[in-house]
Amino acid sequence: MKRVTGLSEALGLLSGSQPNDEEADRVAARIIDDVRRNGDAAVNRISGELDGEPLGFLEVSRTDIDAALVAIPTETREALETAAERVRTFQLAAMPKSWHDDDRHYGELVTPAKRVGAYVPGGTAPLASTVIMTVVPARVAGVDEVYLTTPAAGDALPHPAVLAAAAISGADRVFKVGGAQAIAAFAYGTETVPAVDLIVGPGNVWVTAAKRQLFGRVGIDGLYGPTETLVVADETSDPEFCASDLLAQAEHDVRARPILVSTSPEIADAVEAALMRQLADLPRNAIAGEAVETNAVSVIVDSVEEAIEVANAVAPEHLCLAITDPAPYISLVRSAGGLFAGEYSAEVIGDYVAGPSHVMPTGGTARFASALNVRHFLRFTPVVDLDSAGFMEIAQQAAVLARAEGLHGHANAAELRMKRLIGE
């Protein structure tokens, strides 16, 4: 774990976004063009080439989805239902509403997208939780049709927990397609996979490259890279808790980025020691160990305020204030995908059952992007409904501004109405 000391050195090392993967961009471009031209045939061929066997089918039947819901252990089903209910309740609280000002004759019409495609990675773990975190907010928003895709090779079905989560969340249809070809299929539509208006969810470098290239053809929620967690610790922090939070994300991906920012060198030493002890017991220690060895950083600063300054520069996906009294510092946070305040607001709870979606901006994009939420699935249409009196109050100013810009046709459109109303 690399150790740096001081605010300026930390800012120089940690700030800045992750570069694009040019090879992934080239591969994604070829896949997108192939799927656009050849539909299901391209999806089947590409998936077969990548997995070593052709896909036996593209869509999972409702019978198989319902069977998975019955087959999973009761405790798993109950945990998924708890997660779905908490996410639903959180998103309902955040749901914007249409509004209108009768005096000023304007407002906003809030309407949901019609069709949404949610991508759930397969990779090395069956991410049933990501089904909840993408589909439930879409349902709360009122999206008409919510489709899910997740990879599975050959004739195999996706993991039963993933299919059960699809049933619990309310996904309309489930497809077993992964990678850039899944994103292209959602963007253009194929004989089996319908085209959608918006694609959401995280994925690997090829999925992210495809989403980047298809933005504009279809709505894109964000571009997600490797997961990252920044833990702020002081002399009151529990080293074991801090280490566990860092490893919880490091086990996702060898490119995961665990960062510790501490006001206490002694606590930092204890966290690093705890991290190595816990790492030895992790079944996924090869992945987590490489992430720690390659990407982990420990930063020593003079104060919690400086630690949060580092965090704001990094704009991490997860920011954990693992200190006894985080409340005075919450207002200082400006750039984080999700904020976990206090040692018992463990990031793992956010991953599964806290309520907010765990699909959060990575790679510094929390500087301008937000965690996936109900608003991503909504359109906000301004509405202007002036009567003649309201028009006359502001029409002259519109005409003046139009002529100041040299747009006389604009001015004429206002002045004609003004003349009609005053009888000239």
Query: Which residues carry out catalysis?
Result: 317-318
Residues 287 and 254: beta-carbon distance below 8 Å: yes
Burial class (CB in 10 A: 0-12, 13-18, 19+), 142: middle
Q: One-letter amino acid identity for 371?
A: A
Residues 52 and 153: beta-carbon distance below 8 Å: yes
3-class secondary structure per residue, 112-180: ECCEEEEECCCCCCCCHHHHHHHHHHHHHHCCCEEEEECCCCCCCCCCHHHHHHHHHHCCCEEECCCHH
Residue appearing with tokens 């002259």 = 396
Residues 183 and 27: beta-carbon distance below 8 Å: no
Strand partners for 364: none
Phi and psi at residue 130, to the nearest 5°: -70, -30
Tokens, residue 349: 């709870």
Q: What is the per-residue DSSP string for 277-308? A: HHHHH-TTHHHHHHHHHHH-EEEE-SSHHHHH
Helices (H) then strands (E): counts for the chain: 15, 15
Residue appearing with tokens 């050959």 = 154
How far is it, in rounded angstroms, from Cα 184 to Cα 177?
11
Tokens, residue 356: 């907010």
Tokens, residue 309: 């300054």
Neighbour count for residue 6 (Cβ, 10 Å): 13
Side-chain-facing half-sphere of 289: CA atoms under 13 Å: 11
Tokens, residue 49: 């080439």
CA-CA-CA-CA torsion sign (196, 201, 207, 211)? positive
